[in-house]
A and B are shown apart, each in its own frame.
Chain A
Amino acid sequence: MTTTLPVAAAFHHEYIPASPPPADIRPSPLTWARKNLFSSPFSCLLTVCFTGLAVWLVSQFLSFALINAVWSGDSELCRANPDGACWSFIRAKLNYLQYGAYPVTERWRVDLTQVIGAILIAWLLWRNAPRRNTAALLFFGVYPIVGFALLRGVEAIGLPVIDTTLWGGMMITLLMSVVGIVFSLPLGVVLALGRRSELPIVKAVCVFYIEVVRGVPFITVLFMANFMMPLFVPEALTPDRLLRPMIGTALFSAAYMAEVVRAGLQAIPKGQYEGAQALGLGYFTMMRLIILPQALTIVIPGIVSTFIGLFKDTTLVAIVGIADFLRAVEAARIDPNWAGPTISSTGYLFAAIVYWFFCFGMSRYSQSVERHLARGH
């Protein structure tokens, strides 16, 4: 005969809270410091030196950018203060730094274009967003047309045409980057597929293009776009002065995108290709439905870091006379009305902070995607 225990008695119904680690191995701030700062005499020395260095750098930065800075007032006040940043200078120039000489009454068009772009990019990059395919279609297909119509203007719908010589500042930097990514990614995918192709002529053409473009500096590509493109076409068709560096940028970053995408294509196991072929899919259907969706997902971090490079490289368009954000800072910096001892440093510090936030934000995003991918699905 067996006694049957009630089932309930055999199990706990609540979680038992985890007990704290024994007091003597719990890391106190002191043990942490001993392990991470003062583990050896050499380490002590390093700690002292580097703490001194860090404190000095941070205090210099704070005193220049915050404590001694001039926050409002005119150029006289800045000239009188050689120890701190002149933020009133930035405040006075902010509109110029954002829009260049774009007419004041039409600036809402720039704002609207940027807001639409920001929404689309957020939609594309947000991992759990619904219908990201639609976002991609809108961003790569519709947005360029809408953006062009809004920024340049179309008389027929009541938007006066704004000549590109008036464009400038942050809007050019963002425009260049977006144009770069919108056109270079599709072109890069085509080049990457071409490079992996079994057709010898297609492969040779793509390899030649990718290797030549990656072998030369961006500046020379911009020079070429600026000086040679007008020679390539009949005079009546000469591209606009802003369009030329845009074409150069797109063609240049396409070669880098191609290498990123190729890495993704190589990472897809052969079984995926064979599986698709066994199902009777043709080359283009297989790429569109099976291979590219997987390959492009893997290389999102690579695409983002190429984009960061592209974003930083847009500063170089100043060489062909385009007034991008950094060029606008340069122009504002040498304005004789504001001449002063700290104007240059203030301008560069402001530009550095702006670029840093953009690039750091993007690299953080790319790292989070990387972690997500590494975790598996």
Chain B
Amino acid sequence: MVDISQPAHLSRAFSIYDKKFRAIAYQAGLAVSLAVIVTGIATQTVSNMRQRGIPLTFDFWNQTAGFQINQTLIPYDTLSSYGQAFWVGVANTLLVSAFGIVLATVIGFLIGISRLSNNWIVAKVATSYVEVIRNIPLLLQLLFWYNAVLKPLPAPKASIALPGGIYLNNRGIILPAVEFHAGAGLVAIAIVAAVAFATAFSAYASGYQKRTGKQLPVLVVNLLLLTGLPLAAYVAAGNPWSFTYPELRGFNFRGGQQIYPEFAALLIGLSVYTASFIAEIVRGGVQAVSKGQTEAAHALGLPQGKTLRLVVVPQAFRIIIPPLTSQYLNLIKNSSLAVFIGYPDLVQVFAGSVLNQTGAAVQVMAITFAVYLVISLITSAAMNAFNLRFALVER
């Protein structure tokens, strides 16, 4: 037998240069110092808060808020609680973000595609848009829209009337309001049914094409489904909605749907600003699809439209989606600039008014952070799932 164990003098003795020892030492040092700092701050904060009479609990949540909010999506009045005010803020943040994302995407894609146009002047105008808007702070643009465009509009008495019963004045944009009557539910059901049928038919058609190689007229059938069913339901229910037009009564408008100037300014500012970044992402994505792909598609006999739809766009989308997600998240985070123009979003209502009235800075900021983190997480998760469907399946 040969003894293969190491001779005693070569076995590893303890050494401070040992990699494993160092790893443990560094991490223990970090953990201990972090723990010391965090406990130190926590004790100091608690004692400071006690000393200054700041509440340490979340009891303020159910106390009466006592301030007014002009735009509320959920029931709220001055007798409502701070908790209710919080939900009003969350709803307003989500509202402006949702509209902003849609609008920014539309403008951004239009500008991005225009930048790639063969037409020189179209490309130049789009480039100028991007270069001007991207390099001016969002806050400045918001203040401009609010203080220099929307606020100097005339008073309600001298409103600017637009076609379709729309009025512009310094209290906002007044649109005709939609009133639903009995039977409107039928139309809603018809729309849902039409979408379901159209999805099912598309799936069937793609399966049919894979089996037989023959194409079914998907576009025509789906268009018929999506317009015909709701229209039939609308007629069957007998005009289930009507418009009430705003009327000037005294100093203000009665009836109609008012869009507050704060909301309008924030929405325009956010969409215009974010669109300039989305345009760059779209342009980059389309340019990143190699030219050989287009040429190969042409060589296979695909016409220009199909080349774009089947070859270029799917590949460009794969590149576009991750940065697009981060732009959406930026837009949601930037909606907090609402506080500068008085739009009652989460930050203005909760981290502003509620924090000032209760003084509970730690609790309020922790909840605000949590809301934004949850929104970020959900958006990234949704976009990741979407991305997974589009992702390149490699061998």
Bind each other: yes
By a beta-carbon cutoff of 8 Å, the part of chain A in contact with chain B is 36-37, 39, 43, 46-47, 50-51, 53-54, 198-202, 205, 212, 215-220, 223-224, 227-228, 230-235, 308, 312-313, 315-316, 318-319, 326, 330, 333, 344-345, 348, 351-352, 355-356, 359-360, 363
- Asked whether, in the complex, the Cβ of A312 is within 8 Å of the Cβ of B137, the reply is yes
Chain B 22-34, CB within 8 Å of chain A: the 1/0 string? 0100110011001
Cross-interface CB contact of A216 among B125, B135, B373, cutoff 8 Å = B373
Given contact pairs A231-B48, A355-B140, A220 touches B121 in the complex (Cβ within 8 A) = no
Nearest-neighbor residue (CB-CB) of B40 within chain A = A232
8 contacts across the A-B interface (CB closer than 8 A)? A37-B120, A51-B121, A201-B27, A201-B31, A224-B365, A233-B44, A348-B148, A355-B135
**Counting CB contacts under 8 A, is B131 at the interface?**
yes
A54 cross-chain contacts in B, Cβ below 8 A: 121, 124-125, 128
**Counting CB contacts under 8 A, is B361 at the interface?**
yes
**Counting CB contacts under 8 A, is B107 at the interface?**
no
Chain B 320-333, CB within 8 Å of chain A: the 1/0 string? 00000000010001
- Asked whether, in the complex, the Cβ of B139 is within 8 Å of the Cβ of A227, the reply is no
> A46 to B30, alpha carbons, bound, how many Å?
62
**Counting CB contacts under 8 A, is B383 at the interface?**
no
By a beta-carbon cutoff of 8 Å, the part of chain B in contact with chain A is 23, 26-27, 30-31, 34, 41, 44-45, 48-49, 54, 117-122, 124-125, 128, 131-132, 134-140, 143-144, 147-148, 152, 329, 333-334, 336-337, 339-340, 347, 351, 355, 361-362, 365, 368-369, 372-373, 376-377
A344 cross-chain contacts in B, Cβ below 8 A: 147-148, 152
B131 cross-chain contacts in A, Cβ below 8 A: 360
Shortest distance between the CB of A107 and any CB in chain B (Å): 25
In the complex, the 7 A-B pairs of residues with the closest C-beta atoms, listed nearest first: A359-B135, A217-B333, A312-B137, A36-B120, A217-B336, A227-B361, A201-B27
Nearest-neighbor residue (CB-CB) of A361 within chain B = B135
Nearest-neighbor residue (CB-CB) of A346 within chain B = B148
Shortest distance between the CB of A306 and any CB in chain B (Å): 13
- Asked whether, in the complex, the Cβ of A37 is within 8 Å of the Cβ of B119, the reply is yes
> A232 to B148, alpha carbons, bound, how many Å?
40
- Asked whether, in the complex, the Cβ of B355 is within 8 Å of the Cβ of A227, the reply is yes
Given contact pairs A202-B27, A216-B373, A228 touches B361 in the complex (Cβ within 8 A) = yes
Given contact pairs A199-B27, A215-B376, A50 touches B132 in the complex (Cβ within 8 A) = no
Chain A contact residues, majority secondary structure:
helix
- Asked whether, in the complex, the Cβ of B48 is within 8 Å of the Cβ of A315, the reply is no
Given contact pairs A201-B30, A360-B131, A352 touches B140 in the complex (Cβ within 8 A) = yes
- Asked whether, in the complex, the Cβ of B41 is within 8 Å of the Cβ of A232, the reply is yes
- Asked whether, in the complex, the Cβ of B334 is within 8 Å of the Cβ of A231, the reply is no
- Asked whether, in the complex, the Cβ of A315 is within 8 Å of the Cβ of B140, the reply is yes
> A216 to B330, alpha carbons, bound, how many Å?
9
Nearest-neighbor residue (CB-CB) of B360 within chain A = A227
> A83 to B123, alpha carbons, bound, how many Å?
31
Cross-interface CB contact of B119 among A46, A53, A217, A220, cutoff 8 Å = A46
> A39 to B123, alpha carbons, bound, how many Å?
14
- Asked whether, in the complex, the Cβ of B136 is within 8 Å of the Cβ of A205, the reply is no
* Residue picked from A217, A218, A333, most chain B C-beta under 10 Å: A217
- Asked whether, in the complex, the Cβ of A319 is within 8 Å of the Cβ of B119, the reply is no
Given contact pairs A199-B27, A200-B27, A233-B44, A316 touches B139 in the complex (Cβ within 8 A) = yes
- Asked whether, in the complex, the Cβ of A359 is within 8 Å of the Cβ of B140, the reply is no
Cross-interface CB contact of A232 among B45, B119, B147, cutoff 8 Å = B45
Nearest-neighbor residue (CB-CB) of A200 within chain B = B27
**Seed contacts A36-B120, A344-B152, A360-B131; 16 additional CB < 8 Å A-B pairs:** A37-B119, A39-B119, A46-B121, A51-B121, A54-B124, A215-B373, A215-B377, A216-B368, A219-B339, A220-B347, A220-B351, A220-B372, A231-B44, A315-B137, A316-B337, A333-B147
B339 cross-chain contacts in A, Cβ below 8 A: 219, 319
Given contact pairs A205-B34, A220-B347, A223-B355, A36 touches B119 in the complex (Cβ within 8 A) = yes
- Asked whether, in the complex, the Cβ of B139 is within 8 Å of the Cβ of A315, the reply is yes
> A198 to B41, alpha carbons, bound, how many Å?
29
Nearest-neighbor residue (CB-CB) of A319 within chain B = B339
